[in-house]
């Protein structure tokens, strides 16, 4: 039976934690072990975790370092004697075949090739009532030319193989330059391995006021988030910083065409003429036509 270690970071998440862990233990046709790192919770989370502890569940208590560093630390602490690693949030509910379905896809790829699986989610409310599906289906393949400027991987659906874990840990990034851990994993695996995107929702992704990150279904929510992300990026140039960090760590190992893609993105902003030339045919793409237009506008304005 395939061995999977589920990696969960918790923070003040006691309300839905038991329900989530039960759904993990109900996974079918896999040998599942759970490693949880508590990120310095101040409420009852640690007490709930200790009450649920058994032979399949390991707990480590840490200081509050934030979601990116907490998941990277989990990946470092994960067992070497495992075939696959799955990331997990504290407040969702997994469908019973979530891991089995992911592994059936990943096993089509030779184990020496870094591989990553991710899927759509079913959005639900606090009481698990259906709200919709998220994210939208990608229009194109999940490739490096997309990963530089867009993330299609919902972290709590991501499952990677052992080769992918070794690749990610071979050069650990400065987390202050990483937008989110799932995006960083997508960037790394799309550059050196294979990414599988599954249209079938495998988890119930709970939406509530405490979500640090969540999906959206309404027109107003989608555009509010786009404008918020635009404003945030304009001030901090997050896409550029993440791409620069990836290039610093991995440029020597990139194929010629992938190195050219990221170098043009990083180096074509020095003048308006260069930005106009680049935006005519950037080689990078987002999956929405509108998002592609926004990317070009942001690049022309030199705020990306």
* Predicted pLDDT at 220: 57
Q: Tell whether 125 is covered by a domain.
A: yes
How many structural domains is the chain composed of?
2
Q: Residue 93 in contact with residue 157, Cβ under 8 Å? A: no
150 and 236 share a domain? no
269 and 197 share a domain? no
DSSP strands (E only) in 126-239: 130-134, 159-161, 194-198, 203-206
Task: Kindly give, in sequence order, each residue whose CB lies less than 8 Å from that of residue 165, ignoring residues fewer than 6 positions away.
Answer: 75, 78, 85
CATH number of the domain that 185 lies in? 3.90.550.10
228 and 125 share a domain? no
Task: Kindly give, in sequence order, each residue whose CB lies less than 8 Å from that of residue 108, ignoring residues fewer than 6 positions away.
Answer: none
pLDDT along the chain (304 residues), means of 10: 95 95 95 96 92 91 96 97 96 97 98 98 96 92 96 97 98 96 98 97 88 52 58 72 98 98 97 96 93 92 89
What token pair was written down for 194? 């294979």
200 and 232 share a domain? no
Q: Residue 167 in contact with residue 122, Cβ under 8 Å? A: no
What token pair was written down for 207? 């939406």
82 and 138 share a domain? yes
Looking at 172, 206, 240, which one is the last position of a domain? Answer: 206
Looking at 181, 206, 231, which one is the last position of a domain? Answer: 206
* Predicted pLDDT at 233: 58
103 and 198 share a domain? yes
11 and 88 share a domain? yes
- Radius of gyration over every alpha carbon of the chain, rounded to an integer in angstroms: 19
Looking at 157, 173, 206, which one is the last position of a domain? Answer: 206
52 and 183 share a domain? yes
Q: How many Cα atoms within 13 Å fall on the side-chain side of residue 184?
A: 29
C-alpha span between 253 and 178 (Å, rounded): 20
CA proximity to 149, closest of 121, 179, 170 = 179
List the domain range (segments joined by +) for residue 51: 3-206
CA 61 from chain center: how many Å? Answer: 23
């Amino acid at each position: 039976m395939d061995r999977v270690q589920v990696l969960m970071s918790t923070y003040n998440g006691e309300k839905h934690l038991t329900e989530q862990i039960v759904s993990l233990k109900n996974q079918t046709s896999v040998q599942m072990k759970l490693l949880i790192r508590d990120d310095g919770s101040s409420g009852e989370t640690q007490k709930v975790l200790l009450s649920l502890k058994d032979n399949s569940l390991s707990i480590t208590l840490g200081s509050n370092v934030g979601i990116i560093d907490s998941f990277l630390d989990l990946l470092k602490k994960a067992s070497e004697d495992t075939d696959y690693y799955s990331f997990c949030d504290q407040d969702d509910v997994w469908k019973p075949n979530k891991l089995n379905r992911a592994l059936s896809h990943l096993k089509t790829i030779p184990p020496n090739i870094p591989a990553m699986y991710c899927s759509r989610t079913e959005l639900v409310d606090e009481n698990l009532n259906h709200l919709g599906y998220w994210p939208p289906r990608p229009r194109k393949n999940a490739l490096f030319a997309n990963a530089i400027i867009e993330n299609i991987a919902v972290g709590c659906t991501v499952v990677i193989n052992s080769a992918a874990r070794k690749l990610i840990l071979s050069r650990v990034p400065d987390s202050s330059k990483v937008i989110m851990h799932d995006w960083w994993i997508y960037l790394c695996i799309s550059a050196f391995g294979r990414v599988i995107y599954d249209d079938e929702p495998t988890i119930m992704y709970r939406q509530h006021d405490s979500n640090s990150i969540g999906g959206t279904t309404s027109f107003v929510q989608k555009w509010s988030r786009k404008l918020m992300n635009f404003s945030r990026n304009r001030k901090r140039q997050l896409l550029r910083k993440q791409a620069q960090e990836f290039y610093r760590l991995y440029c020597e190992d990139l194929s010629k065409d992938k190195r050219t893609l990221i170098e043009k993105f990083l180096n074509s902003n020095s003048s308006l003429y260069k930005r106009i030339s680049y935006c005519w045919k950037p080689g990078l793409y987002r999956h929405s036509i509108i998002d592609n237009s926004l990317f070009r506008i942001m690049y022309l304005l030199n705020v990306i």
